[in-house]
């Protein structure tokens, strides 16, 4: 079964210096998958999320808890959607990462062309 052309294929990569056990990382991935699916309007079957914790992160000359989130999609992102995703993912991370605050969470959003996205040994 292939993914129909035009689906957004959202992906989020989360990097944080907060120590998270596997259970918390799984909870974060599940929450972010749900958020992306709802905000972009795609089934979670088309969403991918990765979470890496205890990685060295320094922001503003401090090593306090911080996170960097990269969101990519083939379409589906725009200023309104990005603002909703930023707020909702930020709140999910704050709930799971002890000591993390909104001003220590950074996010980027990228709309990718299908020809720059590979899947199933081909591109879109």
pLDDT digits (tens, 9 = 90+) for 68-91: 999 999 989 999 999 999 999 999
Domain membership flag for residue 5: no
Q: What is the pLDDT of residue 1?
A: 44
Residue 66's domain comprises 11-118
Domain membership flag for residue 123: no
Domain membership flag for residue 124: no
DSSP classification of residue 95? H
Q: How confident is the model at residue 2 (pLDDT cuts 50, 70, 90)?
A: low
Domain membership flag for residue 2: no
The CA-based angle 30-31-35, given to 5 degrees, is 120
pLDDT tens sequence across 15-56: 999 999 999 999 999 999 999 999 999 899 989 999 999 888
Domain tally for the chain? 1
Domain membership flag for residue 35: yes
Q: What is the pLDDT of residue 56?
A: 87
Domain membership flag for residue 61: yes
Residue 51, φ and ψ in degrees, nearest 5: -140, 125
Q: What is the pLDDT of residue 93?
A: 95
Residue with tokens 């909104």: 102
Residue 7 pLDDT greater than 60, yes or no = no
Residue 5, token pair as written in the block = 């052309």
Domain membership flag for residue 71: yes
DSSP classification of residue 3? P
Whichever domain contains 34, its CATH number is 3.30.429.10
Domain membership flag for residue 23: yes
What does each C-alpha distance from 74 to 1, 78, 121, 123 come to in angstroms?
19, 12, 17, 11
Class of residue 121 by CB neighbours under 10 A (exposed 0-12, middle 13-18, buried 19+)? exposed
> Global pTM?
0.90
Q: What is the DSSP string of 10-45?
A: -EEEEEESS---HHHHHHHHHHHHHHHHHHHT--GG
The CA-based angle 41-47-52, given to 5 degrees, is 130
């Amino acid at each position: 079964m292939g993914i129909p052309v035009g689906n957004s294929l959202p992906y989020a990569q989360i990097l944080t210096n907060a120590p998270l056990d596997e259970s918390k990382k799984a909870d974060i991935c599940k929450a972010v998958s749900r958020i992306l699916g709802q905000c972009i309007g795609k089934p979670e079957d088309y969403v991918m999320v990765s979470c890496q914790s205890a990685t060295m992160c320094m922001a503003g000359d401090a090593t306090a808890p911080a996170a960097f989130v990269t969101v990519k999609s083939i379409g589906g992102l725009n200023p309104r959607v990005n603002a909703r995703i930023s707020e909702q993912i930020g709140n999910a991370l704050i709930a799971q990462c002890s000591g993390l605050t909104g001003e220590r969470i950074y996010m980027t959003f990228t709309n990718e062309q299908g020809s720059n996205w590979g899947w199933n040994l081909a591109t879109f």
